């Protein structure tokens, strides 16, 4: 057992009130009290170990949140009904009208749309920058800046954020660094490198089954308490509560995450090397010479590999569509959005998960219209998968 925060989940023993090795599922929306004062204290967050109402807190959600905090090395965590709920609640808890955010230009389409379109109604301004250019990040900061927002590995261009350097910039200006670590759980522990808030779409690798939608926020006790405050907490008042049955199932899946990430990474590296050998334009941070390779090596937990995401450039959307349709028919995987599934998923990012980004900004960030993003699955015989892909490429 290492001392790294990303593996501490396995030191956390959680069991149900009857000694059940899987913590019990609590499906109560409300909770009873023997004394009225205890209810009042609980409502104001002053009663330890008590629950009031499942939008506020629920035992099943707390089991999962405690495990995530242990994994991330943060003091606390909060689980939400989607990854976007985790992202938007974190941003709105930190920022108010008149504030400013510096954000990676390359980011998940839903996040981009929220920051590019939605926060304008709150008079929150956003500057999008190449997050790998630290000088541009510094130049974008203003007196009213409250946050730097990025992804450990950006979607879909797989750029690697220098989290320690970004944290130093944030600390210098007394602002928050918020990092979406959805692509690289276990591989990168952003809090360890200085991130103040870490968010996840647990829909992806953490759950790994594509059978539910969920999110998480990992941060300090103080920040999580502010999210849960009954008078001003964004997560409390907007109500993105995760269903406790889903919390229970995700917690079970979380305990195989370390095994799954190793296999995702192993298979992705294999395919990336094969694509490179055939001359296909390949983007994978695990390949030497990739712009993010050395940065990722400096912050990663090496035993978990370089991640399960790769991207190839088919130059046009038409060629990308043709290849994906052939690969699905050949049994490579599914033409589908999302990632982290045990089967390989592939999609044309510019026409799907990044379609919210205007075309001129897609061009600015370097997103080719023919980019195909792969979330490489857990295939036991990855060479067989490659042979199917190679046959499809041969028909292009």
Contact call for residues 116 and 101 (beta carbons, < 8 A): no
The DSSP code for 6 is G
pLDDT of 1: 35
pLDDT at 99 over 90: yes
pLDDT at 166 over 50: yes
Pick the CATH number of 258-394 from 3.90.1150.10, 3.60.10.10, 3.40.109.10, 3.40.50.300: 3.90.1150.10
Which residues have a Cβ under 8 Å from the Cβ of 331 and sit 6 or more positions away? 388
pLDDT of 11: 60
pLDDT of 9: 57
pLDDT at 219 over 90: yes
- Name the percent of the chain lying above pLDDT 70: 94
Within 240-367, residue ranges assigned H as helices are 244-254, 257-278, 293-299, 317-330, 359-365
pLDDT at 10 over 70: no
Q: What is the mean pLDDT of the chain?
A: 92
Structure tokens of 386? 């490659």
Residue 265: pLDDT band by 50, 70, 90 thresholds? very high
User: 328-334 — which CB contacts under 8 Å span 24+ positions?
Assistant: 330/388, 330/389, 330/391, 330/392, 331/388, 332/385, 332/388, 332/389, 332/392, 333/374, 333/377, 333/385
The DSSP code for 307 is -
**Least confident interval from 120-129, 153-162, 352-361, 384-393:** 352-361
pLDDT digits (tens, 9 = 90+) for 278-306: 999 999 999 999 999 999 999 999 999 99
Provide the Cα torsion 318, 372, 256, 262; round to 10°: 140
Contact call for residues 67 and 9 (beta carbons, < 8 A): yes
In the predicted model, what is the mean pLDDT of residues 223-238? 93
Contact call for residues 250 and 64 (beta carbons, < 8 A): yes
Of 353 and 154, more confident: 154
Q: Which CATH architecture has domain 5-254?
A: 3-Layer(aba) Sandwich (3.40)
Cα–Cα dist 27/245, whole Å: 7
pLDDT of 14: 67
Rounded to 5 degrees, what angle do the CA atoms 324, 285, 394 make? 30
Cα separation values, 220 from 17, 202, 255, 281, 295, Å: 27, 19, 23, 41, 26
- Name the percent of the chain lying above pLDDT 90: 79
Within 117-157, residue ranges assigned H as helices are 134-140
Structure tokens of 357? 């980004």
pLDDT of 161: 98
pLDDT digits (tens, 9 = 90+) for 42-59: 777 777 777 877 788 898
Ramachandran angles phi, psi of 148, nearest 5°:
-105, 125
Give burial (CB, 10 Å; 0-12/13-18/19+) of 18: exposed
| Cβ atoms within 10 Å of 284's Cβ, excluding its own | 24
Cα–Cα dist 390/227, whole Å: 49
pLDDT of 2: 45
pLDDT of 15: 64
Residue 343: pLDDT band by 50, 70, 90 thresholds? very high
Structure tokens of 320? 């990308």
In the predicted model, what is the mean pLDDT of residues 319-325? 96
Domain spans in the chain, listed from the N-terminal domain onward: 5-254, 258-394
Estimate the crossing angle of helix 257-278 against helix 382-394, to 10 degrees.
Answer: 30
Structure tokens of 241? 């509560």
| Cβ atoms within 10 Å of 154's Cβ, excluding its own | 22
pLDDT at 8 over 90: no
In the predicted model, what is the mean pLDDT of residues 174-194? 98
pLDDT at 351 over 80: no
Residue 39: pLDDT band by 50, 70, 90 thresholds? confident
pLDDT at 310 over 50: yes
pLDDT digits (tens, 9 = 90+) for 243-261: 999 999 999 999 999 999 9
pLDDT of 7: 53
- Per DSSP, the three-state class of 342 is coil
| Cβ atoms within 10 Å of 76's Cβ, excluding its own | 20
Cα–Cα dist 283/369, whole Å: 15
């Amino acid at each position: 057992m290492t001392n790294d925060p990303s593996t501490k989940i396995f030191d956390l023993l959680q069991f149900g009130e009857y000694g059940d090795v899987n913590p019990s599922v609590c499906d109560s929306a409300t909770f009873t009290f023997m004394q009225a004062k205890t209810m009042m204290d609980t409502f104001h967050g002053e009663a330890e170990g008590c629950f009031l109402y499942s939008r506020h807190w629920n035992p099943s959600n707390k089991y999962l949140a405690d495990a995530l905090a242990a994994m991330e090395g943060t003091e606390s965590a909060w689980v939400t009904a989607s990854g976007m709920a985790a992202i938007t609640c974190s941003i709105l808890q930190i920022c108010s009208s008149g504030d400013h955010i510096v954000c990676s230009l390359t980011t998940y389409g839903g996040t981009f749309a929220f920051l590019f379109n939605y926060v304008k109604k709150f008079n929150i301004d956003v500057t999008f920058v190449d997050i790998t250019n630290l000088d541009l990040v510094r130049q974008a900061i203003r007196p009213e800046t409250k946050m730097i927002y990025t992804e450990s590995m950006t979607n879909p261009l797989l750029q690697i954020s220098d989290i320690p350097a970004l944290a130093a910039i944030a600390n210098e200006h007394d602002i928050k660094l918020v990092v979406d670590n959805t692509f690289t759980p276990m591989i990168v522990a952003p809090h360890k490198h200085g991130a103040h808030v870490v968010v996840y779409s647990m829909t992806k690798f953490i759950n790994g089954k594509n059978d539910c939608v969920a999110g998480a926020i990992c941060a300090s006790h103080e920040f999580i308490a502010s999210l849960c405050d009954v008078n001003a907490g964004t997560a409390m008042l907007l109500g993105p509560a995760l269903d406790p049955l889903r919390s229970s199932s995700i917690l079970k899946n979380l305990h195989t995450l370390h095994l799954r990430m190793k296999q995702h990474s192993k298979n992705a590296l294999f395919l990336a090397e094969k694509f490179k050998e055939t001359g296909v334009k390949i983007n994978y941070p695990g390949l030497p010479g990739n712009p993010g390779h050395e940065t990722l090596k400096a912050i990663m937990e090496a035993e978990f590999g370089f991640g399960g995401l790769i991207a190839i450039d088919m130059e046009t959307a038409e060629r990308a569509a043709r290849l994906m349709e052939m690969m699905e028919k050949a049994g490579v995987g599914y033409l589908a959005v999302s990632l982290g599934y045990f089967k390989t998923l592939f999609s044309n990012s510019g026409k799907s998960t990044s379609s919210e980004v205007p075309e001129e900004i897609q061009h600015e960030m370097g997103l080719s219209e023919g980019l195909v993003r792969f979330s490489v699955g857990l295939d036991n015989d990855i060479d067989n998968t490659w042979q199917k892909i190679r046959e499809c490429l041969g028909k292009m």
